[in-house]
Structure 1
């Protein structure tokens, strides 16, 4: 008798669990879309271009402050060089919009805003010197990794959509973002992180 009751309870528990899972799955997929939500890959591509266009413009404003707060000469130079590249990245994105016969528009990128806010906090919370420089590199590399992921995805979209001009622009920028990230790693590894330990 007890065995039958236990078995019945287990069966009921399984049914409830499956029902709950189905209900949760249905609710999870019912996130309402905005009126201007992307309808196809072309729309998604264009929206992502607007995001990264805003991100590049915001980064161009943030980099001079990072450069001013850095003390290591190699780091200062790397940030200054990347500022010029960042301005070029924005121009390339304008070229993408032109190739798509669309007006270049920037849409606030919350991810980039968060990364830049974190970088600002690092500069405010750490005294000038090697430790702050190490923090600036960490913040800058987070930005680079975000940009590498974004440009890699956009290049994949451009390839599928057969947007050859956009693909050329995006791949050029992707290479520069990777190079910048590698340079920052070299600067940190060369002696900056060691200085930060002894500071």
Structure 2
């Protein structure tokens, strides 16, 4: 086994202001897991630069140009944010599955990634139906949550504890999606867009089912192993 702190230190953006203790705890992984975790953390650096609400002047100009003036446009903006959420999550879930050790957790993360791709396509179809650009918005809240997941991977020692941290992070992401889909569905209902509302409710129920599955996995297998480790 080896300490991955050096690999992670090289991957960290100095602008993130992470304390030295967060990167020097000597996370013990085998060679393959160390490489995967290091790659996972390195790939998150562009996302973690959004820590807080920092934005470039160019991004700020874009936001000003996208001012929303009516309820329908607010609804479409919510859908655009959700497309960004699902796209980011699909990439993150794959990385999380590679770092995970427990077979059932790996399987759950991979399966949800496949489901996430389907959910994203539903959103794209809705936006295209309304003549809106699916790529117009970037969800910075999801960027921050994924960044925290990457940091968590570097801090936890041992397979069992790391799996517990991964499942906790995955549920944090799920809860954010549940809130976002619930909001979008409510807006669709207010606009009397019943087909849209039903489509969004379908994804919402899938997110809730995934959250239940992760809770069961955590309680029955992952967390007891982490406690006993």
Normalised TM-score (structure 1): 0.80
C-alpha displacement at 1:128, in angstroms? 4.1
Larger Rg: 1
The 1-side partners of 2:138 and 2:124 are apart by: 16
**1:179 corresponds to 2:218:** no
Aligned residue number for residue 8 of structure 1? none
Q: Which of residues 101, 106, 117 in structure 2 aligns to 1:87?
A: 117
Q: 2 CA distance for matches of 1:60 and 1:53?
A: 11
**Alignment coverage as a number of residue pairs:** 167
Q: List structure 1 segments (4+ residues) > 4 angstroms apart after TM superposition.
A: none
Question: What is the CA-CA distance between 1:73 and the residue it aligns to?
Answer: 1.1
Aligned to 1:110: 140
Cross-structure match for 2:43:
none
Q: TM-score, normalised by structure 2?
A: 0.70
Q: What is the Cα deviation at residue 168 of structure 1?
A: 2.1
In structure 1, what is the Cα distance between the partners aligned to 2:158 and 2:120? 31
1:50 corresponds to which residue?
Answer: 80
> 2:64 aligns to what SS in structure 1?
coil
Provide the residue aligned with 1:189 in structure 2. 219
- The alignment status of 1:150 with 2:150, answered yes or no, reads no
Q: CA RMSD in A?
A: 1.4
Q: How does 1:30-45 map to 2 (within 5 A)?
A: 34-45=64-75
Provide structure 1 residue ranges, at least 5 long, that are not aligned to the other structure: 1-32
Where structure 2 has 5 or more consecutive residues not aligned to the other structure, the ranges are 1-62
Give 1:58 shift.
0.8
CA distance in 1, matches of 2:136, 2:82: 8
Q: Going by fraction, where is helix more abundant, 1 or 2?
A: 1
Matches within 5 A, 1:122-137: 122-137=152-167
Is the contact between residue 151 and residue 170 of structure 1 (CA under 8 Å) also seen in structure 2?
Answer: yes
- Counterparts in 2 of 1:51-90, with a 5 A limit? 51-90=81-120
Aligned residue for 2:79, secondary structure, equals: helix
Cα pair 1:96 1:165 within 8 Å, conserved:
no
Distance 2:132 2:91 in 1: 25
SS in 2 for 1:123: helix
